[in-house]
A and B are shown apart, each in its own frame.
Chain A
Amino acid sequence: MPNLHNYLITFALGASILASPMVLAAQEGRFGYGSPASAEQIAGWDIDVRPDGQGLPPGEGSVEDGEELYEEKCALCHGSFGESVSGYPALAGGGGSLTDPRPKKTVGSYWRYTSTLWDYIHRAMPFTQPESLSDDEVYAITAYVLHLNDIVDYEFVLTRDNLTEVRLPNEDNFIPDQRPDTRNKRCMKRCKDPADVKVASEAAAYVPEGGPDALYSEVEAQEDGIVTTVTGNGVYERHCALCHADGIGGAPAIGDTSAWSARIEQGLDVLYRHAIEGYSGEDGIMPPKGGFVNLSDSEVGLAVDYIVEQSQ
């Protein structure tokens, strides 16, 4: 880069506009571009809130007021109890689940600071009308979401002054980045025993454009020399988890023992049949093979075994 400082000074002096901000800028080694931001301009956009309370506007809101607002503006997507509707994020529940194979991360189980909740609702929610809530409404709805997570009681009123005192259960469970945390070696020859090379899981086959014709068929009959293990876990992840992981559309969630106990009592044969042929009980519709008709019966069976094993 040319010596900008000198250049600007020479330019400014040459043009003899001595008292202008440009000259001052140049003397300080700056360009002098842009215009000063007034306090009023900054206030219009400065919406962020920090854990220490910096950025919180005056105001307050009660759990009770928040309940009504939440029902009207939030429950549609997040559920009346914050349990989630149609795949939108859950806002409550999941306490103690962070070490489970399927952790449920919510405001109550995972979030670190109350200020984050206030800030996020204020900046981004309700989803279809961001920045439409008044400050008092944000206090009230924040209070209600805290209440849904059993963090404050029903009589609570959230204010600018007490917000930083409301601590979330998971606050102390965050740690700094520790990567690199793996130490692979650059081995080139005989890096492992060929007998140990086994496929643990496989995604569904993809048929590229042009159809199967595009594949080479003359060697198709050749022995597949590789041991392929289809696992129940793998089938479950690809084909069943989208409903059974979180209980979408009435599906009993994996690991939810109470939702599964009566079902498991029917016996595995019934469960296999219901999973393969489809089933509609009181809770919703289980499509045949979860809608993946290309799955073999035994693949579905493995997934049922896996679900049952995880839900006992």
Chain B
Amino acid sequence: MQKQQQLDQLVRSVAESGEKLNGAERRHFLKNGLALLGGAGLVSAASGVAAQAMPPGIPSWTKSLGSAVNTNPYGMPSPHEAGLQRRTVEWLTADKIASVSFTPLADLKGIITPSGVVFERYHAGLPDVDPNQHRLMIHGMVDRPLIFSMEDLMRFPSVSMIRFLECPANGGMEWRAAQMDRLQFSHGMLSCCEWTGVLLSTLLQECGVQKGAKWILAEGSDGSHMSRSIPMEKAMDDALIVYAQNGEALRPEQGYPVRLINPGWEGNTCVKWLRRLEIGDQPWYHREETSKYTDLLPSGKAREFTFVQEANSVLTNPCPEKPLTKPGKLWVEGLAWSGRGRIKHVDVSFDGGVSWREARFTSVVEPRALTRFGVEWDWNGNPALLQSRAVDETGYVQPTYSQLRDARGSSSIYHKNAIHTWKLNSDGSVVNAQLA
């Protein structure tokens, strides 16, 4: 009896430490750990442990005390969720300083992106900005050029809004052919947060914009001094000078201590670590609005100041990271968004666009925010081609690849919002595909 108890204890501790690992690592650990114990009889004892935690058994955490309050003064996700990570694509950029990382969309629920996994895009690395010394200067065609400390900015009436943030190059690797092997890389330069700050229009009123002012240059305080020209109409509409994200101070990766958010517009215009706004009567034509972020057409002409992110959608379950395990009923879901306003409808197809079914919204439907949709489906185990198609409140319908290529060719890099196809194989695996 005594010996059996010792053995049980040993098996349990092996199994528990194994739980901290994931996937293949865990299986490997269990196998080796159990081999260490030796004895064929123990294998059944080990499966006994798993059975013990589930009904009618009682797991170890139910029969013991947990750790004290404030063990983690700033709480972190469960160690079992360690797979939720931003990831990079090595070959995309020459180094990791002027580079990008992607949001793990497949593992997220609802519409809010947790601050720790919002995609990153840096042009001179992540600066370490001291909020006490950081200043925002507004000058140019204003009556009163002003300098604001963070404390000054937070005295103004604050505004909070849930809005998506998307790099216009999101999906840009797919213009010529299906390329990225998973959702994180095909659509992951996309996030959605609650942003809190002061309306840019409030600050502009404070400075007194002069007659004839039409453009604003926004500039960052990082080494790249990222600069973009923003039309005055956007500034007076909903542009927000943001100091908080999802209820707490901005994360350094998102521009701490203060950034610009132009809701629905390309992420690059939402200058981070914002230090300066200059008011002028014409755009500046800086590098990020001529060499980059212009859309080259087959004619050799390029569109400039293509700010808005048009309606787009993608299925997040299933997707390559979320294959199906067996035929039967499942909840197919995804995300839709439009830089022009609210999402009005999302339709889902299982036959490559021959027929469509309207999906249901399962989140709030905010303008210029991610919107979660879903539809029940009974998978019969046959291969299928899954698609989603968003329609926004302006009546704009997300285009097909061929419509997009007919209009813009395949060298424009930015603003690819075509209907996306997941090819579901009969083994349940899901592959990024494009239809002819």
Contacts and interface: CB of A to CB of B under 8 A. Distances in A.
Interface of A: 1, 4, 29-31, 33-37, 41-42, 45-52, 77, 86-88, 98-99, 101-103, 105, 107, 110-113, 115-116, 119-120, 123-124, 127, 130-131, 173-194, 196-211, 214-217, 219-220, 222-226, 228-229, 231, 233-234, 237-238, 242
Given A116-B287, A205-B181, A211 B23 contact: yes
Given A46-B278, A123-B227, A203-B180, A33 B206 contact: yes
B303 A178 contact: yes
B166 interface: no
26 contacts: A1-B157, A30-B205, A34-B149, A48-B219, A48-B286, A51-B285, A52-B282, A103-B411, A105-B296, A111-B290, A113-B290, A120-B291, A124-B224, A127-B124, A174-B303, A179-B306, A180-B396, A197-B351, A198-B435, A203-B181, A203-B432, A204-B181, A205-B181, A215-B323, A222-B426, A234-B178
B123 to A, nearest CB: 7
Q: How large is the interface on B (under 10, 10 to 19, 20 to 34, 35 or more residues)?
A: 35 or more
Given A176-B304, A192-B354, A200 B177 contact: yes
A203 B178 contact: yes
Contacts of B356: 187-189, 191
Contacts of B407: 181-182
Contacts of B186: 203
A208 B408 contact: no
A216 B351 contact: no
Interface of B: 22-24, 83, 91, 93-94, 97-98, 123-124, 137-139, 144-149, 152, 155-157, 176-182, 186, 205-206, 217, 219, 223-225, 227, 275-276, 278, 280, 282, 284-287, 290-291, 294, 296, 298-308, 310, 320-327, 345, 347, 351-358, 381-383, 385, 389, 391, 396-400, 403-404, 406-408, 411, 415, 421, 423, 425-436
Contact of B291 (A30, A111, A229): A111
Contacts of A29: 205
Contacts of B389: 184, 186
A202 B327 contact: no
A86 B145 CA distance: 44
B286 A238 contact: no
Given A37-B139, A124-B225, A233-B176, A201 B206 contact: no
B206 to A, nearest CB: 5
Q: Give the 7 A-B residue pairs with the shortest CB-CB distance, closest first.
A: A87-B94, A182-B399, A201-B177, A197-B352, A203-B432, A206-B320, A37-B145
Given A48-B278, A197-B354, A210-B24, A177 B303 contact: yes
B217 A237 contact: no
A34 B434 contact: no
Given A36-B146, A184-B397, A203-B178, 8 more contacts: A48-B278, A50-B285, A111-B290, A130-B223, A175-B303, A176-B303, A179-B306, A206-B320
